[in-house]
Amino acid sequence: MHYDPRSEPHGLAFDPFKALVAPRPIGWIGTIGPDGVPNLAPYSFFNGVSDKPPFVMFSSIGRKDSQANIEANGEFTCSFASWNLREQMNTSCAPVAADVDEFDLAKLPAAASRHVAPPRVANSPAALECRLWKTIELPGDPRRPQQPPNTVIIGEVVAIYIDDAYIRDGRFDTAAARPIARMGYMDYAVVTPETTFEMNRPKVSEDGRTLVVEAGPWDGVYR
């Protein structure tokens, strides 16, 4: 099949787009509401977009509590969504009232951040403390003017928490932390040590015309 999503129906039972752009890391976003109540919600349109300095982004379909809180006070956290916390992550996605504390709802202990007001998930393997850089409203679908807008929220990471149990040989052991990721529909995936592999990136010759890839695990050199 081949279709134009702007003008042609896909003809399937469900829209395949999210299943094609997958798996996607989950941004488990913590904020604080105007009444001081913590808010926690997972976003599957999430990723890092820069590392020096580090920036992350997530996209909100409609102006939800997370976006409203971030625009009001300019801060948020992003906790690592892991296999061990999958049920709690799922609970926190419920569209409850703005004054409901999802940390309490999902029975998740909260930990204070160092540089921002919103808390992080205390038993998450890692978390990012972020300050809002910019929000960008994406163009809407002219065929669906009643559909709420999509907004990209970009934040600079000002502090990083890592559980020392997952630091091994000078690296964060991502596979051991077992991150979960969103696919399409209600499907999720999990990264495990058994499904993780390393590859060296190609070494290019001085004239830029040939390359070689060293066999075996990563040699520790970024290229």
As a three-state string, the secondary structure of the chain is: CCCCCCCCCCCCCCCCHHHHCCCEECEEEEEECCCCCEEEEEECCEEEEEECCEEEEEEEECCCHHHHHHHHHCEEEEECCEHHHHHHHHHCCCCCCCCCCHHHHCCCCEECCCCCCCCEECCCCEEEEEEEEEEEECCCCCCCCCCCCEEEEEEEEEEEEECHHHEECCEECHHHHCEEEECCCCCEEECCHHHCCCCCCCEECCCCCCEECCCCCCCCCCC
Q: Give the model's pLDDT for residue 125.
A: 98
Average pLDDT over residues 87-114: 97
Q: Give the model's pLDDT for residue 220.
A: 85
Distance CA 94, CA 39 (A): 11
Longest dimension (CA), the chain: 62
**Residue 144 pLDDT > 80, yes or no?**
no
Looking at the structure of the chain, the number of domains it has is 1
Residues 6+ apart with CB under 8 A from 75: 31, 32, 116, 117, 118, 129, 130, 131, 132
Is 4 part of a structural domain of the chain? Answer: no
- 73-104 CB burial, b ≥16 within 10 A, e <16: bebbbbbbbbeebeebbebbbeeeeeebebbe
Q: How confident is the model at residue 109 (pLDDT cuts 50, 70, 90)?
A: very high
Average pLDDT over residues 15-37: 96
Question: Per DSSP, what are the bridge partners of residue 155?
Answer: 56, 132
**Residue 142 pLDDT > 80, yes or no?**
no
The tens digit of pLDDT for each residue in 147-193 reads 888 999 999 999 999 999 999 999 999 999 999 999 999 999 999 99
Q: What is the CATH number of the domain that holds 172?
A: 2.30.110.10
Of 115-119, 144-148, 177-181, 200-204, the least confident: 144-148
Is 219 part of a structural domain of the chain? Answer: no
Is 44 part of a structural domain of the chain? Answer: yes
Average pLDDT over residues 64-89: 98
Average pLDDT over residues 14-31: 96
Average pLDDT over residues 24-49: 97
Is 10 part of a structural domain of the chain? Answer: no
Domain holding 57, by residue range, is: 17-198
Is 5 part of a structural domain of the chain? Answer: no
Q: How confident is the model at residue 217 (pLDDT cuts 50, 70, 90)?
A: confident
**Residue 222 pLDDT > 90, yes or no?**
no
Q: How confident is the model at residue 7 (pLDDT cuts 50, 70, 90)?
A: confident
**Mean pLDDT over the full length of the chain:** 95
Is 132 part of a structural domain of the chain? Answer: yes
Is 22 part of a structural domain of the chain? Answer: yes
If phi > 0 it is left, if psi is from -120 to 50 it is alpha, else beta; for residue 93 that is alpha
Is 173 part of a structural domain of the chain? Answer: yes
The tens digit of pLDDT for each residue in 119-134 reads 999 999 999 999 999 9
